[in-house]
């Protein structure tokens, strides 16, 4: 079991990037929290609610948790913004952080409940796993673009990396 499950507390980390897939992940997390709250309010324990909706074993811990903490993580990767003729400057990093903070603020508003916000710098696939580890997440929720074939090979898959390397269960939504 993941960190925190033994004490009855679930810690759900949601990766957001401003894309439709990130919005879907955010909505799935909101639904999980709503189901966990309903199960807790009715005195139900176990995997009723959210686990039945998505069928993921890691989600059962959220549904049966005595409390749920939420966090949103957005990762700013400066490398795609840097071209060979542009030397990375402090203002570039400042602009990227401002844009990243705006993505987090919008996601928090969409979520509609209290959540910790984390803005990370680096590659999204690695940064999400590291934040999950550092924060003690019991579940990571990520969206996917659903790419297949050559586009997936060329662009990689953040969701796939997170599934393989996260320190806890991962719910991938599309």
Q: Where residue 63 sits, what CATH number does that domain have?
A: 3.40.50.620
Beta bridge partners of 127: none
CB 172 within 8 A of CB 59: no
User: What residue numbers bound the domain in which 70 lies?
Assistant: 5-173
- Token duo for residue 127: 């940064």
CB 134 within 8 A of CB 5: no
Q: pLDDT at position 51, please?
A: 32
DSSP code of 10? E
Helix orientation angle between 124-135 and 158-165, rounded to the nearest 10 degrees? 40
Q: How many helices (H) and strands (E) does the chain have?
A: 7, 5
Q: Per-residue pLDDT tens for 58-105?
A: 566 776 777 889 999 999 987 765 555 666 667 778 888 999 999 999
pTM of structure: 0.78
| Tally of structural domains, the chain | 1
Burial class (CB in 10 A: 0-12, 13-18, 19+), 3: middle
Say yes or no to pLDDT of 46 above 50: no
Average pLDDT of the chain, as a whole number: 78
């Amino acid at each position: 079991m993941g960190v925190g499950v033994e004490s009855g507390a679930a810690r759900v980390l949601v990766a957001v990037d401003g894309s439709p897939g990130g919005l879907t992940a955010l909505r799935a997390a909101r639904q999980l929290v709503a189901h966990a709250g309903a199960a807790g309010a009715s005195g139900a324990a176990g995997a009723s609610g959210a686990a039945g909706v998505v069928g993921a074993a890691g989600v059962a811990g959220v549904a049966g948790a005595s409390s749920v903490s939420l966090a949103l993580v957005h990762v700013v990767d400066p490398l795609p913004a840097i071209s060979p003729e542009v030397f990375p400057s402090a203002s570039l990093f400042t602009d990227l952080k401002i844009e990243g903070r705006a993505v987090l603020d919008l996601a928090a508003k969409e979520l509609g409940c209290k959540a910790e916000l984390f803005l990370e710098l680096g590659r999204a696939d690695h940064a999400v796993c590291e934040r999950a580890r550092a924060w003690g997440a019991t579940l990571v929720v990520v969206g996917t673009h659903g790419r297949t074939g050559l586009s997936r090979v060329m662009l990689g898959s953040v969701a796939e990396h997170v599934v393989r390397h996260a320190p806890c269960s991962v719910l991938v939504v599309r």
